[in-house]
């Protein structure tokens, strides 16, 4: 697949759509969890969303309970947690598998990206994938890389220009 646009998505509110809703935008896709040591990254994600959204930038958070059961809530609880604790306004999907036999089709595509330090399957919560305006994966960042780290900000700014 040369573009992610046909990949189906179900948003946290139950809306059925596809990645094509982001056509022409730069998107950071992040697998998220509410009870992870990296959960405070929600705040940084929201900050960069607010910083760049008027330039055509989006964040897609994909909750997953596949790593140490760190996302046990249902979709409504997850949305409420994110809003209450971090003021999250970026898009969230329904809880999904990011690896394994029931892997979401989006992550089947994302994990084919072979450049950078983390090729292959998702290893933990808060891995980040940057998608350009053409729907092509251009970068992948480790869970330990903060959303507002210089390398992520530079990659976003470069993709937006």
Q: Does residue 98 have a pLDDT over 60?
A: yes
Domain span at residue 78?
A: 8-160
Q: Which of 36, 142, 149, 153 is catalytic?
A: 36
- For residue 120, pLDDT over 90 is answered with no
At 45, is the pLDDT very low, low, confident or very high (cuts 50, 70, 90)? very high
Q: Nearest Cα to 19, choosing from 147, 121, 116, 132?
A: 132
pLDDT at 69: 86
- The reply to whether 29 falls in a domain is yes
Angle at 121 between CA 118 and CA 123, to 5 degrees: 70
Residue 156 forms part of a structural domain: yes
* Residue 24 resides in a domain: yes
In a domain, 97, yes or no: yes
Q: Report the domain count for the chain.
A: 1
C-alpha 62/C-alpha 59 separation (Å) is 10
Give the strand order in the sheet containing 128-131: 91-92, 57-63, 26-32, 128-131, 137-141
Task: Report the pLDDT averaged over residues 86-106.
Answer: 94
Q: What is the CATH number of the domain that holds 114?
A: 3.40.30.10
The whole-number average pLDDT for the span 80-103 is 94
Tens digits of residue pLDDT in 1-33: 468 999 999 999 999 999 999 999 999 999 999
| 60-91 tens-digit pLDDT | 999 999 988 899 889 999 999 999 999 999 99
> Does some domain include residue 2?
no
Tell me the C-alpha distance between 105 and 154, whole Å. 28
Select the more confidently predicted residue: 121 or 139.
Answer: 139
pLDDT of residue 36 exceeding 80, the answer is: yes
The whole-number average pLDDT for the span 137-157 is: 96
**Percent of the chain predicted with pLDDT > 90:** 78
Active site includes 36? yes
pLDDT at 144 over 90: yes
pLDDT of residue 122: 86
Q: Is residue 140 part of a domain?
A: yes
Q: Is residue 3 part of a domain?
A: no
Note if the pTM is more than 0.75. Answer: yes
pLDDT of residue 121: 81
CA distance 21 to 138: 18
């Amino acid at each position: 697949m040369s573009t992610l646009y046909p990949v189906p998505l179900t948003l946290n509110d139950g809306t059925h759509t596809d990645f094509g809703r982001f056509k022409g935008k730069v998107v950071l896709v992040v697998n998220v969890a509410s009870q992870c040591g990296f959960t405070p990254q929600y705040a940084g994600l929201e900050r960069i969303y607010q910083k760049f959204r008027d330039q055509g930038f989006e964040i897609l958070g994909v909750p997953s309970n596949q790593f140490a059961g760190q996302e046990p809530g249902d979709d409504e609880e997850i949305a409420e947690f994110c809003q209450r604790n971090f003021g999250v306004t970026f898009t969230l999907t329904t809880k999904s598998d990011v690896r394994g036999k029931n892997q979401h089709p989006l992550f089947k595509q994302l994990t084919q990206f072979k450049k950078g330090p983390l090729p292959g399957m998702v290893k933990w919560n808060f891995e980040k994938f940057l998608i350009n305006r053409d729907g092509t994966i251009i970068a992948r960042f480790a869970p330990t890389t903060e959303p507002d780290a210089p390398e992520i900000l530079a990659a976003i700014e470069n993709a937006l220009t």
